[in-house]
Structure 1
């Protein structure tokens, strides 16, 4: 049974407050000190710089992730995950049949400009 939809919200109070941008993964490597299996991703957001994200994208190999464009939230406060500071939340969806939290990243259908605003 699907989970119910959440109540309606105003754009300016929710999505309008997030800085969602497109980046390209430059590096992906295991983060050995994370509490659960995770990768440390180095992501280029164009004019917004290169940033680090730690996420549970381990259902894919690092080779499958490097070079992919991903959507990230740039204006969340950094989170300490293991020994790494995760500066960006990469958006993803649950991998079917995988443990809770195992994700695959949201990606555009075609290659777009790095740093592009997501709307």
Structure 2
């Protein structure tokens, strides 16, 4: 059973360096300046504040995103997407049957406290 796994790494060199925390989507609207269809999201990370993100979660209507809990990487450098500075990367996977980069978000099975760290 062949796989294309990346080389083994130590947690202290990777996961422990990333600040991945739980947030709640406050708003989702199409971002017209993005090069591909994408939403501009406002996400509440509790004591870590409200952050903006631009992501290709367009397989979901905005009403399905608002109120959902999502995981985001808070300590990546902001990335300019169109006219917007995307401050946080929301963790997702490619949506089934969709173009490359079109994603669905990862969310916890149970509600968690906003700002909780992934471990």
Q: Secondary structure at the match of 2:70?
A: strand
Deviation at 1:3, TM superposition (A): 5.3
Deviation at 1:117, TM superposition (A): 0.5
Q: Give the structure 2 partner of residue 93 of structure 1.
A: 93
**Deviations 1:35-87 (CA, angstroms, capped at 9, x unpaired):** 00000000000000000000000000000000000000000000000111000
Q: Structure 1 pair 31/2, CA: closer, same or farther in 2 (3 Å)?
A: farther
Q: Secondary structure at the match of 2:26?
A: strand
Q: Give the structure 1 partner of residue 102 of structure 2.
A: 102
| Moved segments of 4+, more than 6 Å | none
Q: How many Å separate the matches in 2 of 1:98 and 1:41? A: 20
Q: How many Å separate the matches in 1 of 2:2 and 2:29? A: 34
The gaps in structure 2 that reach 5 residues or longer are none
Q: 1:1-119 alignment to 2 at 5 Å?
A: 4-119=4-119
Q: How many Å separate the matches in 1 of 2:2 and 2:50? A: 37
Deviation at 1:2, TM superposition (A): 7.5
What TM-score, normalized by structure 2, do the two folds share? 0.97
Q: Structure 1 pair 117/37, CA: closer, same or farther in 2 (3 Å)?
A: same
CA RMSD of aligned residues (A): 1.2
Q: Structure 1 pair 95/115, CA: closer, same or farther in 2 (3 Å)?
A: same
What TM-score, normalized by structure 1, do the two folds share? 0.97
